[in-house]
Structure 1
């Protein structure tokens, strides 16, 4: 199994080590030279010692360096949603109805190859809960084999499982983001609606930390756990982990409003102005059935990657431009430059019949009706 990856990335070239967040930027000339190198060149051995502490001097590249070829697509990142199922039943969840349906292994293997052929170097595995997916281990191992740097979004409940931990330590992810739903069993289990879930989370967190896996925490703030926020922050501090806080809930992917009442009003934050994103141009999202869309919010129109292959992704840029263009009541809005809600998310809020103040700066009755 390779130890380093040399790869094009959005018009540049990188050397990366799986499981490490830092990489080495190189020139195209150096990238091409590496493809023909039988031993690690001195410049790379010096960089590897400085960045990762590895000794590569006079070492053979055979079996240790993977060279990813240049491709005719400008995608560098993707999110793969393995399933829409979960072992929790959180009331704030944006998935709504949770199901475990998805592709069988031959189609998943083909899908991962298509994602690789599109130029994706960083692949985020998510769900639902990806680690309860029956093919998680196979997907993870195949993505590693294809030379992708992996990030896993998880609730952490399976991290103490021996097979899962063995997989993640043998082929380390570049990062894992663990969602935190409380600081006590009473609060955490109440939010997830699964008795014993806090104990599983803590066992997983401890196991992953002791294994030295790269992690950060996502503190999910709702009306059920807001009183424990300081203790949730303290949990991050206790393990020396960086954390982010999320309090603004979105409608479900089906446009349902059942997730919105879980918001904690005192912690809702004004979103930063939306000035555009790379969705559909250099990144994309893939659902459990191999359908690629610009992101997990703007799911339609989508492209069947199993049947169309990477060439189908060439249409995503146009789809993105159409979805992100201000529409309906947002057309000509004088506050567009300070609006923090992208148009696909606005459409979900409208479908959910959410109060205008939830996603828009216009709160007067007349303007709400105009939307």
Structure 2
């Protein structure tokens, strides 16, 4: 199995090590050099040996290119990242979930494998597995393995409830992901189980965090702040520190992507994110989202006019930039807004808030005291 991946990425060339944060940017000449000897028994070029020692303390002297480095070819599509919603099914029933429905269905294994080959051929280097809960999908282990062997750097976005399982931990130890991001919904069983509406959820997640830490898997915790756990925020931060995990905090709850308001009831007053000004997004241009049935959209929220990858193949992605641009236009309730230049949400998300009839102060500057 490869130690390093050399790959084109959005007009540049990178060398990365699965499971490690550090990476190398290389020139086209360097990339072409390793590509020309990728499937041979040739030793690694001296500059790559030196780079591996510097970036990852990895000594590959004596290793062959064939065994040590997976070289990904250049593609005619420039999609460097994608998210794959492998299944919307979930073993939690979170009050704040943005999914309109959580049906347990998706592609059969043969089609999943074909979809991953399409993602690879589209140029996807960074792949995020999401759901629902990806670890409950019957094909997750095989799907993850194929994505890894295809030369993708993988993030798993999970609720952590099955992270402790031996078959999962052993796979991630053998084929390390770039990181595993676990959503944290509280610091005590009362708050955690209340939001997830799953008795015993907190205990399962702690078990998964312990197993991942002991296996040396790179962890990040997504701290989801709601009315159930806002009083525990300091303890949630301490929990992340205890498991050696990076952390990101999310205080804004969104409606479902179809524009229904149910998740908004979980919002904690005073914890709306003060995000930066929205200055554009590569969604649909260098990044895209795929749902459980192989339908590609600009992102998880902007799901209008999906491209059916299973029937159209890669040619369908040629339409995606125009579809994305159309969804980003300031229309509907945002048309002609004088504050659009300093808006903090994209148009597809604003549309979901508007369709949910959400209070303006949850997403729009016109809901602030200053604007009023």
TM-score by length of 2: 0.96
Q: Could you tell me how far apart the structure 2 residues matched to 1:237 and 1:248 are?
A: 23
User: In the alignment, is the contact (CA less than 8 A) between 2:60 and 2:68 conserved in 1?
Assistant: no
Identify the residue that residue 183 of structure 2 maps to in structure 1. 179
Say yes or no: does 1:47 pair with 2:51: yes
User: What SS is found at the alignment partner of 1:266?
Assistant: coil
Q: 1:302-334: CA deviations, max 9, x gaps?
A: 100111111211111111111111112312211
Shift of 1:36: 2.6
Q: Could you tell me how far apart the structure 1 residues matched to 2:142 and 2:183 are?
A: 23
Q: Could you tell me how far apart the structure 2 residues matched to 1:107 and 1:269 are?
A: 39
Q: Could you tell me how far apart the structure 2 residues matched to 1:272 and 1:25 are?
A: 28
C-alpha root-mean-square deviation of aligned residues, in Å? 1.5
Corresponding residue to 1:81 among 75, 79, 85: 85
**1:80-99, aligned counterparts within 5 Å?**
80-99=84-103
User: In the alignment, is the contact (CA less than 8 A) between 2:86 and 2:137 conserved in 1?
Assistant: yes
Identify the residue that residue 5 of structure 1 maps to in structure 2. 5
**1:1-371, aligned counterparts within 5 Å?**
1-37=1-37, 38-363=42-367
User: In the alignment, is the contact (CA less than 8 A) between 1:42 and 1:57 conserved in 2?
Assistant: no
In structure 1, runs of 5+ residues without a counterpart are none
User: In the alignment, is the contact (CA less than 8 A) between 2:218 and 2:245 conserved in 1?
Assistant: no
Aligned length: 367
Q: Could you tell me how far apart the structure 2 residues matched to 1:21 and 1:100 are?
A: 33
Q: Could you tell me how far apart the structure 1 residues matched to 2:173 and 2:282 are?
A: 32
Q: Could you tell me how far apart the structure 1 residues matched to 2:64 and 2:244 are?
A: 37
Shift of 1:110: 0.7
Shift of 1:134: 0.8
User: In the alignment, is the contact (CA less than 8 A) between 1:285 and 1:296 conserved in 2?
Assistant: yes
TM-score by length of 1: 0.96
In structure 2, runs of 5+ residues without a counterpart are none
User: What SS is found at the alignment partner of 1:178?
Assistant: strand
Q: Could you tell me how far apart the structure 1 residues matched to 2:309 and 2:321 are?
A: 15
Q: 1:164-211: CA deviations, max 9, x gaps?
A: 101111100001111001111121111111111111100100110111
Q: Could you tell me how far apart the structure 1 residues matched to 2:21 and 2:307 are?
A: 31
Q: 1:77-124: CA deviations, max 9, x gaps?
A: 000001111110111111132111110011111100000000000000
Q: 1:240-288: CA deviations, max 9, x gaps?
A: 3221111111111221111001000121133321110100010000000
Q: Could you tell me how far apart the structure 2 residues matched to 1:78 and 1:180 are?
A: 23
User: In the alignment, is the contact (CA less than 8 A) between 1:175 and 1:216 conserved in 2?
Assistant: yes
Q: Could you tell me how far apart the structure 2 residues matched to 1:220 and 1:132 are?
A: 21
